[in-house]
């Protein structure tokens, strides 16, 4: 099993460009999450999904959109990238509430 | 919403010593408290967790204690080794909230040989 796979691993964008980050899990987990990690600030929840076809806003959703058309995939989109979105993005999944989260290895995104 | 505070932000110990990291939470409804270890360039990985119906849990050199009354929980690592060097995160959640977890800001542990 691959677990949680994030694509791409690194990306550099110019301000105003758009891109999509892909997260795929092969554990048949119901819940999926997108976090951003900034120095000294831990993990902050951007958006999450409790099942195929459902999404909801987390703590810091502005500037991001998500979709979960298939149970195993959770996509994070940046419509118009801003330098403040420079961060490391982590995807996680869990079988259901109050079970351990499984994280991918992150996407390092720089916006110039 | 839930607020989780984690201390210290950095911790340096000699190999073989013990390390303790503490977290406090604000929402009395929280009932699941995992600890994650993050190595450089990797995603966080669960090392131990505890649920609110248990006061202590141990797994070899790692233990976690929970005080529900005081709303704090701690990670204890004994006989530290250089490979324990990493960033450690605590988290709190409750299962009726879509499993959303609130994370502490992390503790960078350095174990000196």
pLDDT digits (tens, 9 = 90+) for B77-86: 999 999 999 9
Helix (H, G, I), strand (E, B) or coil at B52: coil
Question: Residue B97's pLDDT is what?
Answer: 64
Helix (H, G, I), strand (E, B) or coil at A109: strand
Q: Name which of A14, A38, A33, A17 is nearest A87 in CA terms.
A: A38
* A40: DSSP letter: T
Question: Residue A98's pLDDT is what?
Answer: 81
Residue B109, min C-alpha distance to chain A (Å):
14
d(CA A88, CA A46) in angstroms, rounded, equals 12
Contacts of B51 in chain A (CB under 8 A): 98
Indicate the pLDDT class of residue A1, thresholds 50, 70 and 90: low
Residue A82, min C-alpha distance to chain B (Å):
23
Helix (H, G, I), strand (E, B) or coil at B37: strand
Average pLDDT, stretch B6-34? 96
For residue A102, pLDDT over 70 is answered with yes
Indicate the pLDDT class of residue A62, thresholds 50, 70 and 90: very high
HSE at residue B74, side-chain half, CA atoms within 13 A, is 13
Contacts of A33 in chain B (CB under 8 A): 100
Burial class (CB in 10 A: 0-12, 13-18, 19+), B68: middle
d(CA B62, CA B45) in angstroms, rounded, equals 14
Q: Radius of gyration of chain B from Cα atoms?
A: 14
For residue A9, pLDDT over 70 is answered with yes
Indicate the pLDDT class of residue A39, thresholds 50, 70 and 90: confident
B:7-26 residues touching chain A, CB 8 A cutoff: 9
Question: Residue B94's pLDDT is what?
Answer: 81
Average pLDDT, stretch B89-94? 92
Average pLDDT, stretch A22-33? 96
Residue A56, min C-alpha distance to chain B (Å):
10
Q: Name which of A95, A76, A101, A74 is nearest A87 in CA terms.
A: A76
A:39-98 residues touching chain B, CB 8 A cutoff: 40-45, 48, 50, 56, 58, 90, 92, 94, 96-98
> With an 8 Å Cβ cutoff, is A5 touching chain B?
no
Contacts of B105 in chain A (CB under 8 A): 40-42
């Amino acid at each position: 099993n691959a677990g949680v796979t994030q694509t791409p691993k690194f990306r550099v964008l110019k301000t105003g460009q758009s891109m999509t980050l892909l997260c795929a899990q092969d554990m048949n987990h119901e819940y999926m999450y997108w976090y951003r990690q900034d120095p000294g600030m831990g993990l902050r929840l951007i958006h999450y999904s409790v099942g195929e076809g459902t999404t909801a806003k987390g703590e810091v959703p502005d500037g991001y959109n998500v979709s979960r058309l298939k149970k195993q995939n959770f996509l994070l989109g940046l419509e118009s990238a801003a330098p403040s979105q420079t961060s490391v993005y982590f995807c996680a999944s869990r079988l259901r509430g109050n079970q351990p989260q499984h994280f991918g290895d992150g996407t390092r995104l720089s916006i110039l | 919403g839930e607020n989780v505070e984690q201390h210290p932000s950095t911790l340096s110990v000699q190999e073989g010593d013990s390390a303790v990291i503490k977290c406090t939470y604000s929402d009395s409804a929280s009932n699941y408290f995992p600890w994650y270890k993050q190595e450089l360039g990797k995603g966080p990985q669960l090392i131990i967790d505890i649920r609110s119906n248990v006061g202590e849990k141990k797994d070899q050199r790692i233990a976690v204690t929970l005080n529900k009354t005081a709303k704090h929980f701690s990670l204890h690592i004994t006989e530290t080794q250089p490979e324990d060097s990493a960033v450690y995160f605590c988290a709190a959640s409750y299962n009726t909230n879509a499993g959303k977890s609130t994370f502490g800001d992390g503790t960078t542990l350095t174990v000196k040989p």
